[in-house]
Every structure is written in C-alpha cells, then in structure tokens.
Amino acid sequence: MSIITIKQFPNISVLLFAALLSFSSCKNEHKLPIYGNRDAVTTQNADGTTQVDSVYQTITPFSFLNQDSVIITNDKFKNKIYVADFFFTSCTSICPVMHRNMKTIYDQYKDNPDLMFLSHSIDFKYDKPSVLKKYAKKLGVDGDKWQFAYGTKDDIYTIAEKSYLVAVLQDSTNRDGYIHQGWLVLVDKDRHMRGFYDGTDAKAVAQLGKDVAILLEEYKK
C-alpha cells in the first residue's frame, strides 16, 4: 500500500497537521484540544452585550450497516467516547498492524461502558457485513463495543474526508486496490475530534490509551 503524502491530499493534510501542531501548546493541560474546523458565532446576551463563541466541527450524521447487518447511526454512540478508523479486510500492509494496536486499547477498556470503537471499511465492493463479521471474529472481537461499518463508496469516502479529515482513495494501480491514512481518531461524546494517532506506531497508540483516560475524566467533572 502506498503512503499518502501531504501533496496528494493538501486540503485534508493542511487542516489536520495544523491541528496537530496546536497540540504542543495544549499537551501540558489536563484537557485534550478539539480538532477540525471552527466557526465564530456572535450571540447577544440579555443585557444587550454580545459575545463570540467557537462552534467546532462535529462528525456528521451517518447510517451504515454493521457486521451483524444491523443499521447503525450516530445514536449508537450517543453519550459515548469512541475511537474511529478506516480500513479494509483484505489489506496486506498497514491495516493488520493498525488493528492489532487498536485491539490493545479495546482490551484495556473492554469493561468500560463509556468507550466504543468504530471501523469503517473503504472496500465497498467486498466488505459486506458477513465479511466484516468473520474479520471481527478473527480479530477476537465480539459484542457491540467494536462496530465494523459497511456503506456505499460515496457515504464512506465523504465522511472520511469531510468529517474525520482522513484521506481514502480507490487506486487500481495499487496492489490492494485502495490507499488510506492510518489515523485512529478519538471522538468525544459531543462528536468532536479530540485526537489523531498513527495506528501503526505503538507509542502513538499507547498515547491514545492515556488520552482516552483523560477524556473519560473530563466528562466526570
């Protein structure tokens, strides 16, 4: 699988890497930053004064089939923190490493009801629910905590690039037929993106585990 570069996807990469750079100024605080686009909204107070608030990008509403052929929407993750990624079951390069690493976080928080996982397949031709079910079993995942999502090319690719800022691409010249970035994206209960982690890097994934704890603690306050 080819490595996706900044030049290949300038809009996604510039937004994401600018957000990641801002993390350095926040890493010493006990609260994770919010990534993505933001809009300034001016509101008027009761006394006539105005104030400017930031409205942050959220994951857009979605509807996919999961590994049990059941429709899942944002409501499946209501009041949950979740870790999302994009993959395909026949991937021979980064996906196996990503999901082995992701599984360590799954095992670490397996008994925590406030954390879930969501893996979107970018192989809209082959990765039907029955295939995703076999993949989940092989990975050692059962139950509802880790959802594997199947959808149309337009739905999956649009939410990847517009909501999660993750580049995905069908590529007939590539051995596997697809290329994508290996980010694990941490999403909070308000559907804001709170962290991006290289799923192929064990140290980055270990940091994800620590940041999950910080985010869970944030909602206790």
Work out the percent of the chain whose per-residue pLDDT is above 70: 84
> Is residue 1 pLDDT above 80, yes or no?
no
Q: Give the Cα separation of 172 and 104 in Å (integer).
A: 32
Work out the percent of the chain whose per-residue pLDDT is above 90: 71
**pLDDT for residue 177:** 83
Are 146 and 119 contacting, i.e. CB atoms less than 8 angstroms apart? yes
All domains of the chain in start order, with CATH: 10-218 (3.40.30.10)
* 3 state SS of 160: helix
Are 35 and 193 contacting, i.e. CB atoms less than 8 angstroms apart? yes
Tokens for 77, please give them. Answer: 């993750």
Averaged pLDDT for residues 20-27 = 43
**pLDDT for residue 90:** 95
**pLDDT for residue 172:** 79
Q: Give the Cα separation of 40 and 162 in Å (integer).
A: 19
> Is residue 16 pLDDT above 60, yes or no?
no
Sequence-distant contacts of 208-212: CB under 8 A, at least 24 apart: 208/83, 208/105, 208/184, 209/104, 209/105, 209/108, 209/109, 211/32, 211/186, 212/81, 212/83, 212/105, 212/109, 212/115, 212/186
Are 119 and 87 contacting, i.e. CB atoms less than 8 angstroms apart? yes
pLDDT tens per residue, range 138-190: 999 999 999 999 999 999 999 999 999 999 998 878 777 898 999 999 999 99
* 3 state SS of 41: strand
> Is residue 208 pLDDT above 50, yes or no?
yes
Q: How does residue 7 score in pLDDT terms, banded at 50, 70 and 90?
A: very low
Q: Give the Cα separation of 100 and 78 in Å (integer).
A: 26
